[in-house]
Chain A
Amino acid sequence: MDLSLLKRRSEHEWVIEPHGAMRVPGVLFANEDLVRAMDHKVHEQVSNVATLPGIVAASLAMPDAHWGYGFAVGGVAAFDPDEGVVSAGGVGFDISCGVRCLRTRLRREHVEEKKKTLADALFRTIPAGVGSRGRIRLKAAEMDRMLGGGAQWAVESGWGERSDLERVEEGGRMRDARPEHVSERAKTRMRDEVGTLGSGNHYLEVQTVAEVHDAPAARAFGLEEGDVVVSIHCGSRGLGHQIGTEALKDMLTAGRRHAIRLPDRELACAPIHSREGRHYLGAMRAAINVALANRQVLTHLTREVFAEVLPEADLTLLYDVSHNTCKVETHEVDGRARELFVHRKGATRAWGPGHSELPGALRGVGQPVLIGGTMGTCSYVLVGTERGMKVSFGSACHGAGRGMSRHQARKRWQGREVVQELERRGILVRSPSLRGVAEEAPDAYKDVSAVVDATERAGLARRVARLVPMVTIKG
């Protein structure tokens, strides 16, 4: 990105002054290198979002921002409930895609001995990749209960423990979900997919804590150097995509009727109180529940595998975050508490210490912010900050972001070589698709450590621990 288009407010804050139809400024949180590396489309998309009706304060971009459909991935925007809009492109198509992290009470050296058995057992048990089916077949009534109940539904159906729920956003169940707003086609796509990982950049990893950056916070999170954890990255599968795609078309019609001028079709949105807006919100919340249920069922399957291979393990949730959502939250704007519809697309909610929605054990320290890396690199656990609550609606980055297209990656690497190279480094990769592995090669992604470093320096969240993979199950 051309730096002359930005005004530098501080070391890690860059402003796009309102121009054209922009109602508010754009703000990019990143260091100079990351901003330079961002393509011009991020500038255009952040500016486009700033033109939407009812946007509050600023259109934001996290340090890992890159091109997305309509809104940039890594975009955060809050809207006034009366004047504002909701946009499917502002949530993203994989609704409520996110990361869940489980502690195991096991140490690295102990798991190392059983690593291969563990990798093979996880690969047998966790449905992953194209054409895989879950263990659950949902009939209509049960489907609606899942859409309304999320991870709570999963726990009540025997897929987990009640204590899991307090470590999931919204207590494991998104309120105001409307299963009747979810189309039959979307439900059909989900019939066999609960408890499946999917493909693309989704994964399940056994990881070890390689480094602790913040000892008191790590203690509060129950993490120590050498501990083993499991991270699960996936979302609402085909259902979320179906809802997003249908809403895109629906909102284009609504936008025309409400005379919303759009510089890009993918920016389609509808007033929050319009029929289309309310319809999408009800369906989108049901899709959030699907993602929460999905990660809960995968948690249960993971526990089954550990019970068989490493029975001394005790898998408890550190936390579960979603990074593609629109949620109603209260934030202070210009000294006044306001209820806002906060879109986070490729951005993680990051509540600072003291937030009333955090469970007691975490309230003093802040929310765990789980940042997924790529296979073969590393992931991070961060913690929300007070500053983030003030400057980014309590939001932080979500991952590395691709640096290279799938096409380029496939030309550059062979899947088998990637697997062998990672095995030499002690990381066991299990995937049904070698081509998929090549397309997801670690070097096809940007450097997650640089993103996390900028997130910390911008004050959006603070590093707590760095995790490195031992086993990766790839879709």
Chain B
Amino acid sequence: MTPFSFEWLWNTEYTIFFGLLYVALGIIGCGMTFVIIKTALQVFGFMRERHFH
């Protein structure tokens, strides 16, 4: 009940629902992490930047 106890129920519907939510959040999180790391590598010269336009 407290913000520190994580409520989790072991049933199918719950797993599917939260599974999809965490997949979506995971994709968003991983995507942003990937972009930030890539940018950092390019800024510090470990990776060559591609030119646009």
Say if A and B assemble together: no
